[in-house]
Amino acid sequence: MSLDSTKRVNINIGSKVEVVQKQDQRNGNLTSGIVKRILTNAQNHPHGIKVMLDSGIVGRVKKIIL
């Protein structure tokens, strides 16, 4: 079972996630990390919630690692 990555309520600061960066949207490469900031203000977004990872990488959450 996995949480829906398009809903902001499922993502918390400190959550381990996999994101797709803007330049990787075509090839689908995912980058994993820990959420530092949640950048999407809306409650949901069809392409995934935009976050900043501890490493400074910004991307849309594609997978929440439980």
Could you tell me the CATH number of the domain that includes residue 48?
Answer: 2.30.30
Confidence (pLDDT) at 45: 96
- On whether residue 43 sits in a domain, the answer given is yes
- On whether residue 31 sits in a domain, the answer given is yes
Long-range contacts of 14-17 (CB under 8 A, 24+ apart): 15/64, 15/65, 16/64, 16/65, 17/51, 17/53, 17/61, 17/63, 17/64, 17/65
The answer to whether residues 39 and 6 touch, using CB atoms and an 8 Å cutoff, is: no
State both tokens at 58: 């910004």
- On whether residue 2 sits in a domain, the answer given is no
For residue 17, what are the domain limits? 8-65
State both tokens at 43: 């409650």
Confidence (pLDDT) at 1: 62
- On whether residue 22 sits in a domain, the answer given is yes
- On whether residue 1 sits in a domain, the answer given is no
Average pLDDT for consecutive 10-residue bins of the chain (66 residues)? 90 97 96 98 97 98 94
Residue in the structure block whose two tokens are 């999407």 = 40
User: Looking at the 3D structure of the chain, how many domains does it have?
Assistant: 1
